Amino acid sequence: MSESTANTSSVERSLVLVKPDGFRRGLTGEVLRRIEAKGYTIAALAVLTPDRERLAKHYAEHEGKPFYEPLLDFMSGGRVTAAVIEGERCIEGFRALAGATDPTAALPGTIRGDLGRDWGEKVQQNIVHGSDSPESAAREIAIWFPDGALN
Ligand code: IDP
Ligand code: MG
């Protein structure tokens, strides 16, 4: 087994969001079902309508991009489910479950590929967010679960 695919047995946590499109369409349970079916544990769960301040922190890396303002409008426009998931390599694993950012290109079998589509908007509505690295996960978990309610 190559180094890059070796299981280092480190339990990770990742921040997952069911975005407002997924919440509105009643897909929260389906997303959580896929996470649990994969074998990851749900360590924290919250339903909320995020304000722009929280979203600006969460999406700081995208500030200035053409889809940034539409992204904040979209994400602040309804309720989301925020979850912390847990398991060995769950950051990479959930990104694989989610599929490509563009829901049209996302492969069938993935959350975005099975459940998402292009609606002709300035921002891609693609059902879920998942942290992309251990550093992002730690930063994002602190943004969405700031009060240390996480065990
Ligand atoms: P990711 O969610 O797959 O990590 P990011 O590049 O971090 O993708 O972008 C954050 C979110 O911004 C995406 O999930 C999508 O909703 C939106 N987005 C990203 N790139 C584009 C784009 O080129 N056009 C429209 N929306 C985009
Ligand atoms: Mg991202």
Number of domains composing the chain? 1
Residue 5 placed within a domain: no
CA of 151 to the centre of ligand 1 (A): 30
Active site residue 62: no
pLDDT digits (tens, 9 = 90+) for 96-122: 999 999 999 999 999 999 999 999 999
Residue 90 placed within a domain: yes
Residue 99 placed within a domain: yes
CA of 48 to the centre of ligand 1 (A): 21
Model pTM score: 0.94
* Percentage above 90 pLDDT, the chain: 90
Residue 4 placed within a domain: no
pLDDT digits (tens, 9 = 90+) for 75-98: 999 999 999 999 999 999 999 999
- Sorting pLDDT into bands at 50, 70 and 90, what band is 149? low
CA of 26 to the centre of ligand 2 (A): 23
pLDDT of residue 2: 46
Residue 149 placed within a domain: no
Residue nearest to atom 8 of ligand 1 (CA): 101
Residue 135 placed within a domain: yes
pLDDT of residue 1: 44
Query: Phi then psi for 130, rounded to 5 degrees?
Result: -140, 140
Residues with Cβ < 8 Å from 107, sequence gap 6 or more?
99, 100, 113
Pocket mutation for ligand 1, best pick of 67, 68, 117 (most atoms within 8 Å of C-beta): 67
Q: CATH number, domain at 131?
A: 3.30.70.141
User: Of the listed 12, 129, 131, 137, which one is catalytic?
Assistant: 129
Query: Phi then psi for 45, rounded to 5 degrees?
Result: -150, 135
- Sorting pLDDT into bands at 50, 70 and 90, what band is 14? very high
